[in-house]
Amino acid sequence: MPGFELFGDEERKEVQDVLETGVLMRYGFDQARKGHWKARTFEMELAQRLGSAHCHLCASGTAALTTALAACGIGAGDEVIVPPFTFVATFEAILAAGAVPVFAEIDETLCLNPDRLEAALSPRTKAVMPVHMCGAMARIDAIAQFCAQQGLVLIEDACQAVGGTFQGKALGTFGAMGCFSFDPVKTITCGEGGAVITDDETLYRTAHAFSDHGHDHIGSDRGLEGHPVMGLNFRISELNAAVGVAQLRKLDAILKTQRAHKKVLRDALATVDGISLRVLPDEAGDSATFLSFFMDSEDRARQATAALAAAGVDGCFYWFDNNWHYIRKWDHLKALRSCAPLTLTLMADPPDYGRIFLPESDRIMARTLSMQIKLSWSADDVARRAETMVRVLKELGAV
């Protein structure tokens, strides 16, 4: 997830175009902007790159998720099935919509297990929101099939997986809408930003309006525009979009570097007993932002985490103890600590997140380590890292 590693002349040039006109808004100012439409350009190029009919940028990935839920008509009392291994934004957006996150088990893809969705169904289930974690895909074909059979809306949180594919088709294009984030630690960044993509023109128009106070964006006078719906302000600024335009044009080069680095490390790990790799439903479509692997027990995973850090192998995450990414440490959710009462507290039988039991996910996450793949590594860095990892993990195995 190297967006923050890149800021070069290309990014500076795009931002400079905006600075020279002083038009920081994505809409209007047609004369003053001298032909620079950074948000529009980013949207057109991203839609084309991902093979989606429409793309709409938002102020963040969280705003994109919120916009997608709204456009798909998901709100008060609706249940949305989500994985317990994600970033907190996934459930935050659902709660903010007035809807109810329902957690289902993950499998060794580190994403929602399609075979455990049925157990999470209720008469109130409206949608499934799989998260393509750490750069790679869920078993999205089976999840999409389940949604179609059950008449559920599929919204993909592809915030960590831009450029990833499953059987050649871009992640984010399998359901009604796909969501992306371009925050500073994502594969490409624009400082802060996000996007929704869809093939459905009505969803696109609704998302467009919702994320800008309900404006229909018809005509040239904002004050005279119609408001098909009420909305909010989740607009991206032209300055942010400008950075994104430059970064998107580097995406293919980024993926190529990540995949090359990851291959060296993965091949090295394959020589160590007692380690297995994350299951990838389509290895060719992995965006390769992380190398994730399983130790054979929680103890071994904790020992490996400590030993790798001690040996100077940085950027290895043990998510089981992480406050942001796994439900075990989401104490604020478990206690429902919100600024103001949430819609779900009005339900007759609200969920008790303090009592959720996800033994399969716990067993997997307790054994999982993920190493971030960086763009700035040289071939020597990668070779040395692979060597150190193998040495450290083999020593561990000999104990």
Ligand X SMILES: *Cc1c(COP(=O)(O)O)cnc(C)c1O
Catalytic residues: 186
Residue from the set 109, 113, 181, 305 that interacts with ligand X by CB under 6 A: 181
**Binder among 87, 103, 146, 174 for ligand X (CB under 6 A):** 87
What is the nearest approach in angstroms of ligand X to the Cβ of residue 96?
12
130 neighbors 68 (Cβ within 8 angstroms)? no
* The only residue of 135, 164, 178, 194 in contact with ligand X, by rule CB under 6 A: 194
Shortest distance (Å) from residue 384 CB to ligand X: 29
The distance of closest approach from Cβ of residue 159 to ligand X in the complex, given in angstroms and rounded to an integer, is 4
Note whether 292 binds ligand X by CB under 6 A. Answer: no
11 binds ligand X (CB under 6 A): no
Q: Is residue 83 part of the contact set for ligand X (CB under 6 A)?
A: no
Is 289 a binder of ligand X (CB under 6 A)?
no
Residue 45: which of 59, 35, 55 has the closest Cα?
A: 55
Query: Does 71 engage in binding with ligand X (CB under 6 A)?
Result: no
Return the number of other C-beta atoms located less than 10 Å from residue 198's C-beta: 27
Q: Which range in 155-163, 212-220, 234-242, 364-372 contacts ligand X by CB under 6 A?
A: 155-163
With respect to ligand X, which residue has the nearer C-beta, 268 or 361?
A: 361
How far apart, in Å, are the Cα atoms of 106 and each of 164, 180, 364, 395? 19, 21, 8, 30
Give yes or no for residue 23 binding ligand X (CB under 6 A). Answer: no
Q: For tokens 């350009």, name the residue.
A: 41
Q: Which is nearer to ligand X, 87 or 293 (CB)?
A: 87
217 HSE (CA, 13 A, CB side): 16
- The footprint of ligand X on residues 46-65 (CB under 6 A) is 60-62
The residue sitting closest to ligand X, measured at its beta carbon, is: 61
Q: Counting contacts by CB under 6 A, is residue 90 touching ligand X?
A: yes
Residues 6+ apart with CB under 8 A from 388: 311, 312, 313
DSSP class of residue 233 equals: B
Cα-Cα-Cα-Cα dihedral of 320, 323, 324, 329, to 10°?
Answer: 70
Piece of the chain touching ligand X by CB under 6 A; list 5-13, 156-164, 262-270, 353-361? 156-164
Q: Which residues contact 312 (CB under 8 A, 6 or more apart)?
A: 388
Tell me which of 107, 183, 238, 362 binds ligand X, using CB under 6 A: 183
Number of residues that bind ligand X (CB under 6 A): 14
CB of 378 to ligand X, least distance (A): 27
Using CA atoms, how far residue 132 sits from 90, 112, 369, in Å, is 12, 9, 17
Q: Confirm or reject binding of residue 156 to ligand X (CB under 6 A).
A: no
Distance separating alpha carbons of residues 60 and 264, to the nearest angstrom:
33
- Regarding 225 and contact with ligand X (CB under 6 A), the answer is no
The alpha carbon of residue 243 and the mean position of all alpha carbons in its chain are separated, in whole angstroms, by 19
CA distances to 44, 173, 214, 351, 357 from 335, in Å: 42, 35, 34, 11, 15
Contact residues for ligand X, defined by CB under 6 A: 60-62, 86-87, 89-90, 131, 157, 159-160, 181, 183, 194
